[in-house]
A and B are shown apart, each in its own frame.
Chain A
């Protein structure tokens, strides 16, 4: 299905006061390192992220996906190398400016105190509002629109804590929509969601038509929705490229330690990945095949 792959759009232009230059590449990392104390979490990463691409960051648990995403929105301050956002170091931006340009949906949605869906989504207005201003009718309309976009208009006044996991995730997405940023970063947005809501959330994100970076575990989802994949393992980028390039049996074997079969998907133009669920290693599998063969030939002899 063609709608799953985005069409390249011309870079946006803006006249904002901090002089942000919207060139083709949004993020650029050179020799990026990030460490906590003595432990190196991200090691010498080099990558470029182009405008209006839908980029999936994949890799096993502990590969550094979340750490990398946190560097991009300035939560993790890189310890070595450089990381630029629109040609300027991420660390040189004020927090407010970054919040106006980069929206984030995190893994753990808030759980304390009763906040209504409307209140929570309204927070997306904070980066563009002055402290003293009260919300205008236009603000309230945009909040309602975002809530309606994610299909939760009926629950607009409900306490956030009473929603299901999928609904909570959609509320957080609505907050990011209200933020009206040029980049959206999502940390495992499809976790805890059933298949229907996984597809729904990814379609919503795709429809925003902005630069999207998300970490994701489901490789078939990644193949269906992403324009590009960054494959990570042990704090390093193993490969970056389009799905066909990165998602191959060799890479999956090396990084995820699984035997996979990759063919074309029956429902869309992307790939389909099927896994061998057996726990056996390659050599064990070969040994087993050999044994089967011998058994069969022995049986054949007996029959003779």
Chain B
């Protein structure tokens, strides 16, 4: 008999495939699933049987597909990071922005926008530097206390507020244009997604996922308690710190590319646990598929709710996400 996990896994993969085809068709130029399918698989190499307009093909390959893949990577990366951070800190409220990464990235971005935008430094690079800086700062400030979860979390909160205050200060003394550009960046968007921008997120997310799966047993042991994990031979503090650093790198890279998209990393892991239970490799797999699909649909909504106007993804994520989460919580209560 097919197991519950296999069934859910197969269904969710099918859903992701359908999502990919449908989402590629949505936009100012609407394409039928057939056209999308042909452009993706049939018309790849001067195929004679190709019946799709070359312009449509370019829309699919150069505009829509990179954007959708970026959404997929963002959803997957933030969800697996959230799942791991929740496990190693044993805190169901942990999410990828736990350690002030979004504040750090915002600070990096605002410095680039306000001060050095003419010097050929992109916002992305500034945000990446800012995100990594926040993690380094947090670990330095926490010092030897970083072995205790509670102190680590509090250091993260402190760093987050500290960096936010700098960002606020810079915005306060800058032009209104800078402020609005930063605000838009912070709300998240996939509109700047091109093929070459996918490389770094793809690399960090897949290496991170590989490491999370390798260390899954140790992570589960920590999830069940530090001292218990110690008695099973797990190097608790070192493992927790390594996982935090890996998660932070994934998050920093993603935030730098697409801005601050909250809630996915907090909510999707919980939904996946409700669906498949607590086995970490199964939860991670579901996080990739469901987190990715969810983000793609959020982006579709963001660019189709209003005519000729794209809503920031961050806003749609939080709105849809919280609603979705309430439904899951309610369903779980009545189960």
Contact = CB atoms under 8 A, between A and B. Distances in A.
Interface of A: 73, 75, 94-100, 102-104, 106, 108-110, 112-116, 119-120, 123-124, 126-127, 129, 131-132, 179
Given A110-B224, A123-B217, A131-B215, A115 B231 contact: no
A75 B218 contact: no
B277 to A, nearest CB: 7
A119 B217 contact: no
Given A102-B231, A114-B277, A126-B234, 10 more contacts: A97-B233, A99-B233, A103-B231, A106-B225, A113-B90, A113-B278, A115-B220, A123-B224, A127-B232, A127-B233
B227 A126 contact: no
A120 B231 CA distance: 14
Nearest to B215: A131
A123 B219 CA distance: 11
A67 to B, nearest CB: 13
Contacts of B232: 99, 123-124, 126-127, 179
Given A119-B279, A126-B217, A131-B217, A112 B233 contact: no
Contacts of B234: 95, 126
A78 to B, nearest CB: 16
Interface in B312-334: none
A123 B225 CA distance: 12
A120 B224 contact: yes
Nearest to A123: B221
Nearest to A107: B227
Interface of B: 86-87, 90, 92, 214-215, 217-218, 220-221, 223-225, 227-228, 230-235, 273, 277-279
B137 to A, nearest CB: 28
Contacts of B86: 113
Contact of B231 (A94, A99, A112, A119): A99
7 contacts: A95-B230, A113-B278, A115-B223, A116-B277, A123-B228, A127-B233, A131-B218
Nearest to B230: A75
Interface centre among A73, A109, A112 (most CB of B within 10 A): A112
A99 B221 CA distance: 13
A96 B232 CA distance: 7
Nearest to B281: A134
A104 B231 CA distance: 6
A176 to B, nearest CB: 9
Nearest to B86: A113
B219 to A, nearest CB: 11
A104 B221 CA distance: 14
A98 B228 CA distance: 13
B60 to A, nearest CB: 39
A132 B230 CA distance: 19
A112 B278 CA distance: 11
Contact of A108 (B90, B221, B225): B225
Contacts of A106: 225, 227-228, 231
Contacts of A97: 233
Contacts of A108: 225
A124 B86 CA distance: 22
Contacts of B235: 95
Contacts of A75: 227, 230-231
Nearest to B91: A112
Nearest to B217: A126
B92 A113 contact: yes
A290 B279 CA distance: 70
A116 B282 CA distance: 14
B230 A115 contact: no
Interface centre among A104, A123, A127, A129 (most CB of B within 10 A): A123
A123 B218 CA distance: 9
A102 B47 CA distance: 66
A116 B235 CA distance: 23
Contacts of B220: 115, 119, 123
Contacts of A131: 214-215, 217-218
A113 B222 CA distance: 12
B8 to A, nearest CB: 16
